[in-house]
Amino acid sequence: MATAPKTPPRSKPAPSAKRAAPRTVKAPAEASITLSSKTYSSWSLRGWLMAKLAGLSFDEVMVSIDDANARKEILLLSPSILVPCLTHGDIKVWDTLAIGEYLNEIKPDAGLLPADAVARAHCRAICGEMHSGFSSLRSALPMNLKGDFPGHKVWARALGDIERITAIWQECITRYGGPFLFGAKPCIADAMYAPVATRFLTYHVKIDRTSAAYCQQIMAMPEMKAWVAAARLEKDDMEEFDMEF
Ligand SMILES: N[C@@H](CCC(=O)N[C@@H](CS)C(=O)NCC(=O)O)C(=O)O
């Protein structure tokens, strides 16, 4: 006589196999970056923007460079007592251009530097110019993301810097097709010049149409919008400042 096939008894799920409620676990950041003011610190903005463009996940370590205790803390974090400083595992990189180069090495697919060797050399040259030059522009027009100064008198020596910077921008945009300096995507050079774009807008500097459109392009980047929004929430307004910081 044929017997009906037995259905195997349902085994009770082991306690550990019970379905757990879905949890979102935030992955630890890959790195951290020390920054000072989002309103006034142009170098903080450059380093931060490079890390964002690289797609690095990082924690922001905000330090006040005016506070003596904070200065001691920065000294531990950044041997030069300058911001920004990138900490990635055991490695510390405390100069903005070096941060850009380092990020390009650990995130080679992010396109932080142009793929073409000639364009790459051009990019490094204009980044170097920004890094070591334009001191008249820096002191005449300090970055201030909360400010709006129409009619601001631009010191004559700064005019030469403005002329040179806009010539750099025009040449890049003409040669590589824009809308960013080296083509369709922002790269290290755009991060280096982003604080200049903010200054031109803050002080209503009269510039050519290509350069003015480039400033708008920089300000429309989602990363820039996030930085500016965070700057507006900062409480530490400075009444006066006479040097770039
Ligand atoms: N050349 C440096 C410049 C960095 C710099 O000057 N940072 C300013 C803030 S924007 C700073 O940390 N100043 C410290 C101070 O004034 O005590 C770099 O490329 O990172």
Tokens of 111: 């396109």
| Residue 42, phi then psi, degrees to nearest 5 | -70, -35
d(CA 99, CA 86): 7
10-24, 71-85, 136-150: segment of lowest average pLDDT = 10-24
Atom 2 of ligand 1, nearest CA residue:
95
For residue 77 and ligand 1, the question of a CB distance below 6 A is answered with: no
Mutate to test the pocket of ligand 1, among 45, 83, 103 (most ligand atoms within 8 A of CB): 83
Ligand 1 centroid, distance to 167 Cα (angstroms): 26
Atom 9 of ligand 1, nearest CA residue:
245
| Residue 97, phi then psi, degrees to nearest 5 | -65, -40
- Non-local (6+) Cβ contacts of 19 within 8 A are none
- Of all atoms in ligand 1, which is nearest to the CA of residue 244? 10
Q: What is the pLDDT of residues 91-119, one digit of tens each?
A: 999 999 999 999 999 999 999 999 999 99
Tokens of 159: 């005019």
| pLDDT higher than 90, residue 28 | no
Q: What is the pLDDT of residues 121-168, one digit of tens each?
A: 999 999 999 999 999 999 999 999 999 999 999 989 899 999 999 999
d(CA 93, CA 47): 10
pTM score: 0.85
DSSP the chain: -PPPPPPPPPPPPPGGGSPPPP---PPPPSEEEEE--TTT-HHHHHHHHHHHHHT--EEEEE--TTSHHHHHHHHHH-TTS-S-EEEETTEEE-SHHHHHHHHHHH-GGG-SS-SSHHHHHHHHHHHHHHHH--HHHHHHS---TT---TTPPPPHHHHHHHHHHHHHHHHHHHHH-SSBTTBSS--HHHHHHHHHHHHHHHTT----HHHHHHHHHHHTSHHHHHHHHHHHH-----S---S--
Cα 233 to chain centroid distance, Å, stands at 18
For residue 48 and ligand 1, the question of a CB distance below 6 A is answered with: no
Q: What is the pLDDT of residues 214-236, one digit of tens each?
A: 999 999 999 999 999 999 999 86
For residue 245 and ligand 1, the question of a CB distance below 6 A is answered with: yes
Residue 33, pLDDT score:
96
Residue 20, pLDDT score:
62
For residue 37 and ligand 1, the question of a CB distance below 6 A is answered with: no
Ligand 1 centroid, distance to 83 Cα (angstroms): 5
For residue 34 and ligand 1, the question of a CB distance below 6 A is answered with: no
d(CA 244, CA 109): 33
Q: What is the pLDDT of residues 177-212, one digit of tens each?
A: 999 999 999 999 999 999 999 999 999 999 999 999
Tokens of 245: 């910081």
Kindly indicate the confidence band of residue 82, based on its pLDDT and cuts at 50, 70 and 90. Answer: confident
Residue 75, pLDDT score:
67
Task: Give the residue from 10, 6, 187, 225 showing the smallest Cα distance to 101.
Answer: 187
d(CA 209, CA 222): 22
| pLDDT higher than 70, residue 241 | no
Residue 25, pLDDT score:
73
Residue 77, pLDDT score:
66
